[in-house]
Every structure is written in C-alpha cells, then in structure tokens.
Amino acid sequence: MTNSPNSPEAASDMVEIGFLQRRQIEANIISPIYRAMCQELGAQRAGEIIGDAIAQDARKSGAEFAAKERAGADLTTFVEIQSLWRRGGALETETLEQTENAFRFNVTRCKYSEMYRELGLAEIGKLLSCVRDAEFIAGYNPNIEFRRTQTLMEGASHCDFEYRLTPTEENS
C-alpha cells in the first residue's frame, strides 16, 4: 500500500523540512500544471480538478493518521498532532476552547498563506492548503464536525477553526 504524501510515515520522513516547506515544493510543481490546465480548460474547471485531487489526498491522509492512533482518533489525539502543521512557526494560533468534545482556535498568522502570496499563487493557495482542513478531519474521524467561516488566505484578519465531536453511541 502506498502512503499518502501526508501520511504519518511521510510526516516522520519530512521532520527535517516540515509541512510548510513541503507545501512550497508542491506549489512549485502544481503551479505550471494548474496554469496549463487553465489555458486548456478554463480557471474554474482547473480549480475544480486541483481542489478535488487535494481534497481526496487530504481525506486519505486523515484516515492514515487515524489508523496509527493507538488510543483512537478522537479530538484529543487530533489536538496532539497539530504541532506538525505549526512546526517552524508556520502557524501562530490562539486557542479559544479545548475540551474532549470541542477545539476552537484562531490562526492569527499563516506562513502558508504568506508563502503562496510570495510565490504569486494566491489564487490557488486556498486549494493547496485551506481545502485540506475539512477533508483531513473527515478522513481522521467523520464524527468530528469542522467549521470555518473565514481565512487569512481569503483576506480575513484571521482563520477561525472550530472542531466539535458529534455525539454517537460510542462517545455519548
């Protein structure tokens, strides 16, 4: 079985470079492909294809991370792996709520967003990074609801993340 580029194994392999540098490498590879697709298919269709591919990869990655959680893929274990995306100061966050059933935080600085802008890829930064958030958690644990109403990538003052564990017979 081939692991997703965002799997726990790949994450441990990239300790040296971190997710931010990985996203930069990916962006540099995807950018010319995206631009060629825009010429052939139009920006909307090219964005849909890239977005769908990234979403599928993120969902698969979430499932792979969950499979490695010995204690179970719940909100507590999800909070514990957040350091992977923050490594190297890639995200500056402010935690608003952290319980067994809820995790809310704001991202006040996002070097992912800054990097996409610096590379002239702001128009696809959301596709390459922001789309991953909802899909990753859906793959990690479909009983965790994700909500975000704004992002720095789209010009907001901060990203507002909210994760809530929905009651099931197992966790109620």
CATH of the domain at 19: 3.30.1380
Residue 118 backbone zone (phi > 0: left; psi -120 to 50: alpha; other: beta): alpha
Residue 75 inside a domain? The answer is: yes
Mean pLDDT of 64-91: 91
Residue 172 inside a domain? The answer is: no
Residue-range definition of the domain harbouring residue 160: 8-165
Residue 16 pLDDT grade (very low, low, confident, very high; cuts 50, 70, 90) = low
Total domains in the fold of the chain: 1
- Tell me if the pTM is above 0.75: yes
Residue 100 inside a domain? The answer is: yes
**pLDDT at 44 > cutoff 60:** yes
- Supply the pLDDT for residue 2: 47
**pLDDT at 4 > cutoff 90:** no
**pLDDT at 54 > cutoff 70:** yes
Higher pLDDT, 3 or 75: 75
Residue 2 inside a domain? The answer is: no
For residue range 141-154, list pLDDT tens digits in order.
Answer: 999 999 999 999 99
Q: What separation in angstroms does the CA of 62 have from each of 8, 51, 112?
A: 9, 16, 19
Residue 3 inside a domain? The answer is: no
Residue 45 inside a domain? The answer is: yes
Higher pLDDT, 72 or 107: 107
**pLDDT at 1 > cutoff 60:** no
Q: Is 50 helix (H, G, I), strand (E, B) or coil?
A: helix
